[in-house]
Amino acid sequence: MYNFVTTSLLQFFKTLKLDEQFLEHDLSEWDNLEQYKRNQDTCRSVKVVNDFAERSVALIQHFNVSLTRDEEQKQFILQVVERHRQICPVPANAAAISRANAF
């Protein structure tokens, strides 16, 4: 079983203060082990959020309101941005990094 235990998994257990002793037992026994049941309860109680995505959406919404409240103007700005993206596509990461290092 320890073949599947990585440092990331161990960090996950440490962060959530989970008991890892159940890993020493056969998988078929896990449902009967108290440590496993407690770990399950803990994991189920953790609220998972994508903080990065939520902050990004809030930032875009704030920026959107700060530009204009006129819907027609907003649509025009979005069209300009879209047209700019067509003309100047985002470079691949390697190309962007090499350009940044040139400065």
Instruction: Give me the tens of pLDDT residue by residue for the chain, a chain 103 residues long.
Output: 556 778 888 899 999 999 988 988 999 999 999 999 999 999 999 888 788 888 888 888 888 778 778 888 888 888 998 898 888 876 666 566 666 566 5
Same-domain status, 41 and 77: no
3-state secondary structure the chain: CHHHCCHHHHHHHHHCCCCCHHHHCCHHHHHHCHHHHHHHHHHHHCCCCCHHHHHHHHHHHHHHHHHCCCHHHHHHHHHHHHHHHHHCCCCCHHHHHHHHHHC
**Number of domains into which the chain is organized:** 2
Same-domain status, 59 and 93: yes
Domain carrying residue 11: 2-45
